[in-house]
Amino acid sequence: MRQLEVRDLKAGYSRDIDILSGLSVTARPSQLTTIIGANGVGKSTLLKTIIGQLAVREGSIRYGERDLAGVATRELVSIGIAYVPQGHALFKDMTVAENIEIATWSFRSDKERARRARRRLFERAPYLEDFRQRRAGLMSGGQQRLMQLELALMSDPELILIDEPTVGLDPKRAEVIYTHLRQLVKDEGRTILMVDQNVIAGTEVADYIYVLELGSNKLEGTRAEFDETYRDTIADWLF
Protein backbone atom coordinates (compact mmCIF):
# COMPACT_ATOMS: atom_id res chain seq x y z
CA MET A 1 0.00 0.00 0.00
CA ARG A 2 1.23 3.44 -0.92
CA GLN A 3 1.77 6.42 1.35
CA LEU A 4 1.04 10.04 0.49
CA GLU A 5 3.94 12.29 1.44
CA VAL A 6 3.66 16.06 1.28
CA ARG A 7 6.97 17.74 2.09
CA ASP A 8 7.73 21.43 2.70
CA LEU A 9 4.93 22.45 0.37
CA LYS A 10 4.50 26.00 -0.83
CA ALA A 11 1.46 26.93 -2.90
CA GLY A 12 -1.08 29.72 -3.28
CA TYR A 13 -3.47 31.56 -5.54
CA SER A 14 -1.89 34.92 -6.31
CA ARG A 15 1.69 34.93 -7.46
CA ASP A 16 3.24 36.84 -4.55
CA ILE A 17 1.38 35.18 -1.63
CA ASP A 18 2.03 31.65 -0.42
CA ILE A 19 -1.04 30.28 1.40
CA LEU A 20 0.89 27.12 2.21
CA SER A 21 4.31 28.15 3.46
CA GLY A 22 6.23 24.91 3.95
CA LEU A 23 3.62 22.37 4.99
CA SER A 24 4.43 18.69 5.58
CA VAL A 25 1.78 15.98 5.94
CA THR A 26 1.83 12.19 5.57
CA ALA A 27 -1.23 10.01 4.96
CA ARG A 28 -0.20 6.57 6.13
CA PRO A 29 -1.56 3.51 4.34
CA SER A 30 -4.88 2.13 5.67
CA GLN A 31 -5.16 4.93 8.18
CA LEU A 32 -7.48 7.88 8.57
CA THR A 33 -5.48 11.08 8.88
CA THR A 34 -7.36 14.20 9.96
CA ILE A 35 -6.17 17.74 9.41
CA ILE A 36 -7.73 20.42 11.57
CA GLY A 37 -7.13 24.13 11.87
CA ALA A 38 -8.96 27.45 11.99
CA ASN A 39 -10.85 28.95 9.06
CA GLY A 40 -8.51 30.05 6.33
CA VAL A 41 -5.31 28.30 7.47
CA GLY A 42 -5.13 26.48 4.15
CA LYS A 43 -6.73 23.06 4.68
CA SER A 44 -8.73 23.10 1.44
CA THR A 45 -5.79 24.69 -0.36
CA LEU A 46 -3.66 21.70 0.64
CA LEU A 47 -6.16 19.26 -0.92
CA LYS A 48 -6.49 21.42 -4.05
CA THR A 49 -2.70 21.39 -4.45
CA ILE A 50 -2.50 17.62 -3.96
CA ILE A 51 -5.10 17.07 -6.70
CA GLY A 52 -3.35 19.42 -9.10
CA GLN A 53 -5.73 22.36 -9.13
CA LEU A 54 -2.94 24.56 -7.80
CA ALA A 55 0.73 24.42 -8.75
CA VAL A 56 3.45 23.21 -6.37
CA ARG A 57 5.76 26.21 -5.94
CA GLU A 58 8.24 24.48 -3.68
CA GLY A 59 8.45 21.14 -1.92
CA SER A 60 7.04 17.83 -3.10
CA ILE A 61 3.95 15.65 -3.19
CA ARG A 62 4.58 11.94 -3.67
CA TYR A 63 2.19 9.02 -3.67
CA GLY A 64 4.26 5.87 -3.31
CA GLU A 65 6.89 6.15 -6.04
CA ARG A 66 4.82 8.61 -8.02
CA ASP A 67 5.55 12.35 -8.05
CA LEU A 68 2.13 14.06 -8.11
CA ALA A 69 3.40 17.56 -8.86
CA GLY A 70 2.23 18.43 -12.35
CA VAL A 71 -0.16 15.47 -12.62
CA ALA A 72 -3.50 16.58 -14.06
CA THR A 73 -6.58 16.19 -11.84
CA ARG A 74 -8.27 13.92 -14.42
CA GLU A 75 -5.38 11.42 -14.18
CA LEU A 76 -5.85 10.84 -10.45
CA VAL A 77 -8.54 8.19 -10.87
CA SER A 78 -6.11 5.98 -12.80
CA ILE A 79 -3.52 6.43 -10.00
CA GLY A 80 -6.09 5.25 -7.43
CA ILE A 81 -6.94 8.60 -5.87
CA ALA A 82 -10.42 10.07 -5.34
CA TYR A 83 -11.25 13.60 -4.19
CA VAL A 84 -14.50 14.49 -2.43
CA PRO A 85 -14.89 18.27 -2.34
CA GLN A 86 -16.59 20.24 0.39
CA GLY A 87 -20.38 20.57 0.46
CA HIS A 88 -22.99 18.97 -1.76
CA ALA A 89 -21.50 18.19 -5.10
CA LEU A 90 -24.52 16.34 -6.47
CA PHE A 91 -26.60 17.78 -9.29
CA LYS A 92 -29.71 18.21 -7.21
CA ASP A 93 -32.13 18.76 -10.09
CA MET A 94 -30.95 15.66 -11.89
CA THR A 95 -32.01 12.15 -10.97
CA VAL A 96 -29.83 9.82 -8.93
CA ALA A 97 -29.34 7.71 -12.09
CA GLU A 98 -28.16 10.77 -14.03
CA ASN A 99 -25.75 11.72 -11.24
CA ILE A 100 -24.32 8.20 -11.41
CA GLU A 101 -23.93 8.48 -15.20
CA ILE A 102 -21.94 11.69 -14.74
CA ALA A 103 -19.77 10.09 -12.04
CA THR A 104 -18.72 7.34 -14.45
CA TRP A 105 -17.71 9.89 -17.09
CA SER A 106 -13.99 9.41 -16.40
CA PHE A 107 -14.23 5.77 -17.47
CA ARG A 108 -16.78 6.27 -20.24
CA SER A 109 -14.48 4.63 -22.80
CA ASP A 110 -14.46 1.40 -20.76
CA LYS A 111 -18.10 0.32 -20.72
CA GLU A 112 -17.41 -2.87 -18.78
CA ARG A 113 -15.63 -0.92 -16.04
CA ALA A 114 -18.50 1.55 -15.84
CA ARG A 115 -20.99 -1.36 -15.56
CA ARG A 116 -18.91 -2.97 -12.78
CA ALA A 117 -18.67 0.35 -10.95
CA ARG A 118 -22.46 0.81 -11.13
CA ARG A 119 -23.08 -2.74 -9.89
CA ARG A 120 -20.67 -2.17 -6.99
CA LEU A 121 -22.34 1.14 -6.16
CA PHE A 122 -25.79 -0.46 -5.76
CA GLU A 123 -24.31 -3.34 -3.74
CA ARG A 124 -22.64 -0.88 -1.41
CA ALA A 125 -25.56 1.55 -1.22
CA PRO A 126 -28.79 -0.40 -1.90
CA TYR A 127 -30.90 2.52 -0.62
CA LEU A 128 -30.05 4.38 -3.83
CA GLU A 129 -32.24 1.94 -5.81
CA ASP A 130 -35.36 3.59 -4.39
CA PHE A 131 -34.17 7.00 -5.50
CA ARG A 132 -32.88 5.97 -8.92
CA GLN A 133 -35.44 7.92 -10.94
CA ARG A 134 -35.95 10.67 -8.39
CA ARG A 135 -34.18 14.00 -8.12
CA ALA A 136 -31.02 13.76 -6.01
CA GLY A 137 -32.07 16.92 -4.15
CA LEU A 138 -35.03 15.03 -2.67
CA MET A 139 -32.72 12.90 -0.52
CA SER A 140 -31.89 14.11 2.98
CA GLY A 141 -28.66 16.05 3.52
CA GLY A 142 -27.06 12.98 5.13
CA GLN A 143 -28.11 10.69 2.27
CA GLN A 144 -26.74 13.15 -0.29
CA ARG A 145 -23.44 13.27 1.56
CA LEU A 146 -23.27 9.47 1.68
CA MET A 147 -24.08 9.28 -2.02
CA GLN A 148 -21.35 11.78 -2.82
CA LEU A 149 -18.91 9.51 -1.00
CA GLU A 150 -20.23 6.41 -2.79
CA LEU A 151 -19.81 8.12 -6.17
CA ALA A 152 -16.18 8.78 -5.33
CA LEU A 153 -15.80 5.10 -4.43
CA MET A 154 -17.00 4.00 -7.88
CA SER A 155 -13.43 4.20 -9.13
CA ASP A 156 -12.36 1.89 -6.27
CA PRO A 157 -9.71 4.32 -4.97
CA GLU A 158 -6.90 3.36 -2.63
CA LEU A 159 -6.58 6.94 -1.34
CA ILE A 160 -9.53 9.23 -0.61
CA LEU A 161 -9.02 12.96 -0.09
CA ILE A 162 -12.09 14.40 1.58
CA ASP A 163 -12.87 18.00 2.49
CA GLU A 164 -15.10 18.62 5.55
CA PRO A 165 -17.44 15.68 4.97
CA THR A 166 -19.87 16.55 7.76
CA VAL A 167 -20.12 20.32 7.41
CA GLY A 168 -23.73 21.43 7.95
CA LEU A 169 -24.93 18.03 9.21
CA ASP A 170 -26.41 17.47 12.66
CA PRO A 171 -24.31 15.30 15.04
CA LYS A 172 -26.33 12.13 14.39
CA ARG A 173 -25.94 12.33 10.62
CA ALA A 174 -22.31 13.35 11.03
CA GLU A 175 -21.76 10.22 13.09
CA VAL A 176 -23.09 8.06 10.21
CA ILE A 177 -20.56 9.64 7.84
CA TYR A 178 -17.66 9.23 10.28
CA THR A 179 -18.60 5.60 10.92
CA HIS A 180 -18.66 5.01 7.19
CA LEU A 181 -15.23 6.58 6.75
CA ARG A 182 -13.87 4.44 9.59
CA GLN A 183 -15.20 1.30 7.84
CA LEU A 184 -13.53 2.28 4.58
CA VAL A 185 -10.23 2.33 6.47
CA LYS A 186 -10.63 -0.59 8.87
CA ASP A 187 -12.69 -3.03 6.78
CA GLU A 188 -11.55 -2.12 3.29
CA GLY A 189 -7.98 -0.99 3.97
CA ARG A 190 -8.35 2.33 2.17
CA THR A 191 -6.31 5.39 3.09
CA ILE A 192 -8.13 8.61 3.95
CA LEU A 193 -6.82 12.14 4.27
CA MET A 194 -9.63 14.25 5.72
CA VAL A 195 -9.78 17.96 6.30
CA ASP A 196 -12.17 18.83 9.10
CA GLN A 197 -13.48 21.70 11.20
CA ASN A 198 -15.05 19.36 13.69
CA VAL A 199 -12.22 19.15 16.22
CA ILE A 200 -13.97 16.68 18.50
CA ALA A 201 -15.61 14.08 16.23
CA GLY A 202 -13.09 14.59 13.42
CA THR A 203 -10.15 13.76 15.67
CA GLU A 204 -11.92 10.92 17.51
CA VAL A 205 -12.18 8.88 14.29
CA ALA A 206 -8.61 9.62 13.22
CA ASP A 207 -5.53 7.40 13.51
CA TYR A 208 -3.25 10.39 13.10
CA ILE A 209 -3.92 14.11 13.51
CA TYR A 210 -2.31 17.28 12.17
CA VAL A 211 -3.13 20.73 13.45
CA LEU A 212 -2.29 23.55 11.05
CA GLU A 213 -1.70 27.21 11.66
CA LEU A 214 -1.51 29.71 8.81
CA GLY A 215 -0.13 27.49 6.10
CA SER A 216 2.26 25.48 8.24
CA ASN A 217 2.40 22.70 10.83
CA LYS A 218 1.51 23.47 14.45
CA LEU A 219 1.09 20.04 16.10
CA GLU A 220 0.79 16.40 15.13
CA GLY A 221 0.48 12.99 16.69
CA THR A 222 -1.33 9.68 16.84
CA ARG A 223 -4.83 9.72 18.30
CA ALA A 224 -3.46 8.21 21.53
CA GLU A 225 -0.84 10.94 21.83
CA PHE A 226 -3.43 13.52 20.97
CA ASP A 227 -5.91 12.16 23.54
CA GLU A 228 -3.27 12.09 26.26
CA THR A 229 -1.96 15.59 25.66
CA TYR A 230 -4.73 17.67 24.14
CA ARG A 231 -8.13 16.00 24.56
CA ASP A 232 -8.91 17.80 27.85
CA THR A 233 -8.32 21.21 26.33
CA ILE A 234 -9.86 20.47 22.96
CA ALA A 235 -13.07 22.33 23.76
CA ASP A 236 -10.96 25.51 23.82
CA TRP A 237 -9.92 24.76 20.26
CA LEU A 238 -13.33 25.15 18.72
CA PHE A 239 -12.08 27.24 15.87
CB of 155 vs ligand ATP, minimal distance in Å: 24
Site string for ligand ATP, 150-189 (x = CB under 6 A): ----------------------------------------
Read out DSSP for 30-60?
Answer: T-EEEEE--TTSSHHHHHHHHTTSS---EEE
The CA distances from residue 131 to 84, 136, 153, 155, in Å, are 21, 7, 19, 21
- If the CB atoms of residues 30 and 44 are measured against ligand ATP, the closer one turns out to be 44
- If the CB atoms of residues 27 and 125 are measured against ligand ATP, the closer one turns out to be 27
- If the CB atoms of residues 43 and 223 are measured against ligand ATP, the closer one turns out to be 43
- The yes or no reply on residue 71 touching ligand ATP (CB under 6 A) is no
- The yes or no reply on residue 39 touching ligand ATP (CB under 6 A) is yes
How many residues of this chain interact with ligand ATP, rule: CB under 6 A?
11
The region of 41-49, 60-68, 92-100, 136-144 touching ligand ATP under the rule CB under 6 A is 41-49
CB of 161 vs ligand ATP, minimal distance in Å: 13
- The yes or no reply on residue 44 touching ligand ATP (CB under 6 A) is yes
- If the CB atoms of residues 38 and 94 are measured against ligand ATP, the closer one turns out to be 38
The region of 38-46, 136-144, 151-159, 175-183 touching ligand ATP under the rule CB under 6 A is 38-46
CB of 196 vs ligand ATP, minimal distance in Å: 9
Read out DSSP for 160-203?
Answer: EEEE-TTTT--HHHHHHHHHHHHHHHHTT--EEEEEES-TTHHH
The number of angstroms, rounded, from the C-alpha of 91 to the middle of its chain's C-alpha atoms is 19
Give the Cα separation of 65 and 71 in Å (integer): 13
- If the CB atoms of residues 69 and 167 are measured against ligand ATP, the closer one turns out to be 167
> Among 165, 199, 169, which residue's Cα sits nearest to residue 37?
199
Give the Cα separation of 80 and 91 in Å (integer): 24
Other beta carbons less than 10 A from residue 236's beta carbon:
8
Q: Kindly tell me which residue out of 41, 76, 152, 192 binds ligand ATP, with binding defined by CB under 6 A.
A: 41
Q: Tell me if 32 sits within 8 A of 222, measured CB to CB.
A: no
> Among 161, 159, 177, which residue's Cα sits nearest to residue 169?
177
Give the Cα separation of 237 and 199 in Å (integer): 7
CB of 49 vs ligand ATP, minimal distance in Å: 9
The site for ligand ATP (CB under 6 A) is made up of: 13, 19, 37, 39-45, 197
